[in-house]
Structure 1
Amino acid sequence: MKYLGSSRYSSIYCDTHIHTRLCGHALGEMEEYVLASLKRGLMHIVFLEHMEEGIITPKTSWLSEKDFDYYFEEGRRLQEKYRDKIEIGLGVECGYNPDCKDVLLERINSRNWDLIGISCHFQKIEGDQYHFNLLSKNPDTLKRAVQLDTAALFSKYLDTLLEAIDVINGSMLCHLDAPFRWLPSHTLSNHHYQKIDHLLGRAAAKNLALEINTSGIAIRNEAFPNKRILEMASKHQMTFQLGSDAHKPEDVGNHFKLFS
């Protein structure tokens, strides 16, 4: 297993978080994202496709090992084809599930990644048939969210990430405050910020970068994470990396110039 250092990704001309139709909830082939990136004037992109393990949902929104085989085959073809025009990285966004950490580690260690993003998208809710998607805007999911203690779930989410960065040898912490992003009633408490500060300190000690995920600007007029968290990360001397979290080719590099 390897990943490249984080500092080389800290540029408004580098998008470190791009998905494709392979994850099941994005549109477009890998090459379409490369072409869109060239139009945007990007010099470096990193595909960061979803890996999950042990998650029970009505529909899969991540890659199988067979999908990752194709991902690397096609990615290497594109690296060669466009090597004089743009640098292309092949990474993974590991959605951490503490119940399946050994399998996740085995899968991650079986390949050479250019970047390993750490995130958490799902939580197990006692009595529910499916895992709860913390980032979904599905109406049924949002209905369920208002019935739950979102403050407690967010605290559990932070605890999960704290474990994840100890278990996974990652390189970037993804969209840190994105859970419940479609739920206007959800706000972070001082207790949450204390836990976030502790998480950032631990992440900084492990040389993890913090993603500035610009998809938040279209949702709440502010990136993920918010300014307060970015200031906390700055005090911990964390490296920042821009990611569009593009799920359509035209979204690559969105809003990057705001951070020049």
Structure 2
Amino acid sequence: MIEVKGITKTFGDFKAVNELSFSAQQGEVIGMLGENGAGKTTTLRMIATVLKPTKGEILVGGKNVVHNPEAVRKQIGILFGGETGLYDRLTARENIAYFGKLYGLDNALIKQRTESLANRFDMTRYLDKRVGGFSKGMKQKTAIARSLVHDPSVVLFDEPTSGLDITSANVIRQLIGEFKEEGRTVIFSSHIMSEVERLCDRVVIIHRGTLQYNGTLETLYQQNQTKDLDRIFMEMVGAGR
């Protein structure tokens, strides 16, 4: 479903990502780990067609993100951390509808999917209220609904539970599990090791833009002779291997 082949991204003299390769199959949940500035967000933005790789190739559903970005975007739902991408003066419904229009959906389908998503995320009580007065959790749910209105097969989350209360964070974690059951491919970055252990089929660990590990947690535990993921992570990024 997603193939990342030797991608490099430079900003001037700074190399944010360095010859990174990994893949994600249909229905697979990949956890992306790395310290701040490791290149996680840059990598997700390249997959999402927001940034172009300086070198290398990314395929989503067999389509190249540089040569066929419009087709790739139709397959992807995106949520980048605190960047909800919502318009405060619009209601939740209007925000969702606006993005539905950007994806080329007709009004009837937008209405149907908006109602379905609102029910799924318990948003009906504030669906027709302006986003500007929402709590962070309410905005996060609206942003997720907006990212799913076109029914994407791939979902990219950049630290989706960052700054959320326990209830809202658990909604996100449950959602990722549901995505897996629905056969969607999910890549999400996180600093919370417990949610990575709970949700992921495989992990990709990046340090200073370079791949440190790509595989299952069980293999990672066996290689390091411990199931303490925090310890393994700190040894990897601390030692700079």
TM-score after normalising by structure 2: 0.36
Q: Would you tell me which structure has more strand in proportion to its own residues?
A: 2
Decide which structure has the larger Cα Rg and report it. 2
